[in-house]
Amino acid sequence: MLSDDELALLEAIRDSGSLSRAAARLGKAPSTVSHAARQLEARFDALLFDRRRYRLQLTPAGQLLTHEAARLALDVSRLTQRVKQIANGWEDRLHIVTDEILEFASLVPVIHRFDALKSGVGLRVTHEVLGGTWEALRKGHADLIVGATNEPPVIPQLRWFELGVMEWVFAISPRHPLAAIKAPLSRDAIASHRAVVVADTSDRADGRSYGLLGGQSTLAVPTMHAKILAQREGLGVGWLPRQRIAGLLKRGALVERATADPREPNILYAAWRGDQEGRALSWWLEQLRQPRFAKRLVHGIEVMD
């Protein structure tokens, strides 16, 4: 490991190409710099400086030493910062998994506020679908899950609270054949048309898809946003979050139809492991408990034409 002075010497010679200019940059006498350079070569038993040319240059060995020493110094600095961070109660990083039903855009203002804390905590936000969200917490792949649906499962040290209720509407393109039917749609009528689904990301073999009828053909899409757009384009039918498509319903880009079997609203949950609460997790839980933020998450960002 090089000292700060030794690394500064190597970098000064590399950048200036001259012992005298390197000495001036370091505020030292040229003889002192020359002596230090030879001491370095003796220490590593390697030729670090090419003195055969008018311009003093680092040899390949000198270049390697300079590069690796700078990298190690940066790693040590970062490690020191991380140690202080952990000692002050902050996590090294925080992994938040949201159910795909939520829009990432709803999190952006809160991420800005979190960044302003300058905690040093690395933040990772990913998403899962249905059972995959709870599974991420159970397997230890998430520190916090947001927007999970269904009743909380049995997970050691599980803690949770309700974020709010998401209401659903059976919505289809005005050009879809079912749009011409004014009476409540029967199960048979719906099952005869393709459903658009965002599939469960759980590892379970019987992963779920809400609102899917037995034998119904499907179009699987990657996100709720894609599902909304697919149904708007008449590619299939299905249930959509009422608040997210309010504007599309108002403009007639989607039409709502009653069904013989209405879908119950979903309660959305935030959950975490109670034995792993650091300052970053506590901060995020405080934000999620604020009614205004929770409402923004549950209602989401409207999909526009």
Q: Give just the sign of the alpha carbon dihedral 59, 61, 63, 66.
A: negative
Give the chain's mean pLDDT: 87
Classified as helix, coil or strand, 255 is strand
Alpha-carbon span 100 to 209, nearest angstrom = 13
Print burial letters for 105-140: b (CB count within 10 Å at least 16), e (below 16): ebbeebeeebeeeebbbebeeebbbbbbbbbbbbee
Same fold across 4-87 and 168-256 = no
Classified as helix, coil or strand, 122 is strand
Token pair belonging to 154? 């049995």
Q: Give just the sign of the alpha carbon dihedral 201, 202, 204, 207.
A: negative
DSSP 95-109: EEEEETTS-GGGTHH
Top-level CATH class of 168-256? alpha beta
Residue 262 DSSP one-character state = P
pLDDT tens-digit map of 146-169 = 999 888 888 889 999 999 999 999
Q: What is the mean pLDDT of residues 12-24?
A: 83
Please state the pTM of the whole predicted model. 0.73
Topology of domain 93-165+267-299 in CATH is D-Maltodextrin-Binding Protein; domain 2 (3.40.190)
Domains of the chain by residue range: 4-87, 93-165+267-299, 168-256
Q: What is the pLDDT of residue 205?
A: 44
Q: Element (H or E) spanning 158, and its range?
A: strand 158-166
Cβ atoms of 185 and 258 closer than 8 Å: yes
Cβ atoms of 270 and 144 closer than 8 Å: yes
As a CATH number, domain 4-87 is 1.10.10.10
pLDDT tens-digit map of 69-118 = 888 877 777 777 777 777 777 898 999 999 988 889 899 999 999 999 99
pLDDT tens-digit map of 252-300 = 999 999 999 999 999 999 999 988 778 999 999 999 999 999 988 888 7
First to last CA, the chain: 60
Alpha-carbon span 25 to 117, nearest angstrom = 37
Cβ neighbours of 170 (radius 10 Å): 22
